[in-house]
Amino acid sequence: MSRRHPFLLLVLARMRELMREPEVVFWVFIFPILLAVGLGIAFRNKPPDEIVVGVVDTAGSGPILAALTPAGGFAVEAVSAPEAAKRLRLGKVSLVVVPGARYEYRYDPTRPDSVLARQKVHDALQRAAGRADPIEVTETLITEPGARYIDFLIPGLLGMNIMSGGMWGVGFLLVDMRTRKLLKRLIATPMRRSDFLGAIMTSRILLVLAEMVLLLVFGRVIFHLVIQGSLWTITLLAILGAFVFAGLGLLVASRTARIETASGLMNLVMLPMFVFSGIFFSSDRFPAAVRPFVKALPLTALNDALRAAILEGADLPSQIGRILVMLAWGVLAFVVALRIFRWN
């Protein structure tokens, strides 16, 4: 009991300190909700956007304008050739059609909307010219919960906040205490280094649990998020993620004495994961040559594990590879941070 008592007191003191900081409440609880609302509205279920097409205004533009009707999902603009080129360059139209003996399509193949517009416009013009499909097809639109962008997004937001909270909530705190000479005063106390650092990490984990519950409940109530997996599995994954990034935050701040240096180091660690780890889009979009690097990042493992648990109902044994990746990062970071940590 004598060894646990100081640790529990340190955890309690840290939690009270956090609750007295309004910015902590905002970034931990309010910001992820605002982000989910904004992106959920932007990518909500809605009818397909109109395909904006520019048609060069010449003698042969009439049949094209008649074929590309608003009922077919097109917004057509008849403009001069220079204006059409300008609008295509600025992204105001997805495709330019030039009438003639042969229709000419002008578009940027690197823009997905342009490629889609080319296919849709070509199909509409061929049908207007009398083409008939030899095979009849039907379309089934899938918009139920589990297949929407917001379902993909919420686990990514949870992983992102676990990373940001662990890095900034732990790393920035230690550097700030070192800058204000608070850590130096603790050297004279009988407090164990492991108790002190463990209490900081534990308080971070407790905040993660509250944040996880809030975000999942919000997603369920507002966006009808369907949680396929066990809440126990999701909770353990979130705790493991909090341990990993709290350990990385400790490592970054273990010897850093300046706020500017700590900020640079934490951004250096987090930036690759913001880009590569699949917060807002799948990490599988990257080339095969870089995927091993992407899969080895702790945030990629956490995001993939959370999505598998929430959206697919995956249990812990089925995700042992991702768990081992996170454990390796967390244990290594905490052990190294504990060895090199200095009070001043």
60 has a pLDDT exceeding 90? no
CATH 3.40.190.10 residue ranges for the chain = 51-128
Residue 24 pLDDT level (bands cut at 50, 70, 90): low
Residues 144-156: tens digit of each pLDDT: 666 677 888 889 9
**More confident call, 109 vs 136:** 109
Distances (CA, A) of 290 to 25, 40, 294, 302, 337: 37, 30, 6, 18, 28
For the stretch 239-292, pLDDT in tens is 999 999 988 988 888 888 787 888 888 888 888 898 888 888 888 888 888 889
Q: The CATH number of 51-128 is which of 1.10.10.10, 3.40.190.10, 3.40.50.720, 3.30.70.920?
A: 3.40.190.10
Residue 182: band (very low, low, confident or very high) from pLDDT cuts 50, 70, 90: confident
Q: What angle do CA 76, 148, 298 make, to 5 degrees?
A: 120
Q: DSSP assignment of 105-173, as one string?
A: EE--TT-HHHHHHHHHHHHHHHHHTT---SS--------STTSSHHHHHHHHHHHHHHHHHHIIIIIIH
Q: How confident is the model at residue 1 (pLDDT cuts 50, 70, 90)?
A: very low
Average pLDDT over residues 114-126: 91
Query: Quick check: 241 and 326 in contact, CB under 8 A?
Result: yes
pLDDT value for 140? 67
Local structure of residue 284 (DSSP, 8 states) = G
